[in-house]
Amino acid sequence: MTYKIRFQNVGNDLVNRVVLRDELPEGLDVTTLIRGAASHPYQFRIEGERTLVWTFDNINLPDSTSNEAESHGFATFKITPKLDLADGTELPNKAEIYFDNSAVVITNTVINTIGEPADVKPGDMAIFPNPMGDYATIRIVPRQLNLNEEEIQSIEIFTPLGVKVVSLDSLTGTRVTVARGELAAGYYFVRVKSNKGILYTGKLLVK
C-alpha cells in the first residue's frame, strides 16, 4: 500500500517547521515500511512501535496567499499489510500535521480494505466483493487526485434490460456499502454520480 500525506500552509505567514505524525493501524506490518519521495528535506523517526514522524526543519513554507504553488508539501511511504488479515478487514489511517506552534491539523481518514482491488485508478469505480453476496462496497477514485471533496452522491442499479431496481440518494463519502436486499442472482449495471456531477459505471454480479 502506498500512502501520500499532503500539507499546505493556508495561514498568513511563513512556516519554518512542519511535523507529520502517522500512527499506523495494527493491521500494517511496520517491518515492511519503505520511505518514498518527499517535497522537502526531512528527518524521520519511529516513535514507540507504530508512530511515523517526519520533521521538516527550516522548510520556509510560504503561505498560500503569498505563493500558492510553493505553499504545498508532501511525504510518501509504502507498507504491506500483515499476512494473516481476513478479507474485508479495514485499515483506517490518518495523519496529524503541525505547522510551527499552531494547533494540530488532522487529515481525512483513508480506509483500505483487504481483498479490495488494488489497481483502482483515478476515474475508476471498484465494486467488491464481486460477485456479491449479502453486501457489496462501491468505491470511487476521483479523476482529479486533488479533488479531495468529490464524494458519492447517488447510486443506481439496473437490470440488463435497463430496469432500475436500486436507487440510493443523498449519499456521502468515497465508498458506500450496499445491501443485496431483493436483488435476484444475475448481472446488473451500476451507475454512480458524484457530488461534482461526474458519472462512474460498472458491472455487478449477484450470486
Contact (CB, 8 A) for 190 and 156: yes
- In contact, 133 and 205? CB cutoff 8 Å: no
pTM exceeds 0.75: no
Q: Is the dihedral of CA 193, 199, 200, 201 positive or negative?
A: positive
Decide: 46 and 52 in contact? Cβ < 8 Å: yes
Could you give the CA distance from residue 53 to residue 155 in angstroms, rounded to a whole number? 39
Question: What domains, with CATH codes, occur in the chain?
Answer: 2-113 (2.60.40.740), 125-206 (2.60.40.1930)
- Hey, is 119 helix, strand or coil? coil
Spatial neighbors of 100 by CB under 8 A, at least 6 apart, are 15, 16, 17
* Rama region for 156: left / alpha / beta (φ>0; ψ in -120 to 50; rest): beta
Report how far residue 22's alpha carbon sits from residue 7's, in angstroms, rounded to the nearest whole number. Answer: 13
Give exposure, 30-53, as e/b (b: 16+ Cβ within 10 Å): eeeeeeeebbeebeeeeeeeeebb
Instruction: Please list the pLDDT of the chain residue by residue as tens digits (207 residues).
Output: 889 999 999 999 999 999 999 999 999 999 999 999 999 999 999 999 999 999 999 999 999 999 999 999 999 999 988 888 876 788 889 999 999 989 999 988 887 777 666 556 667 888 988 888 888 889 887 765 554 578 899 999 999 999 999 999 988 888 888 989 889 999 999 999 998 888 999 999 998
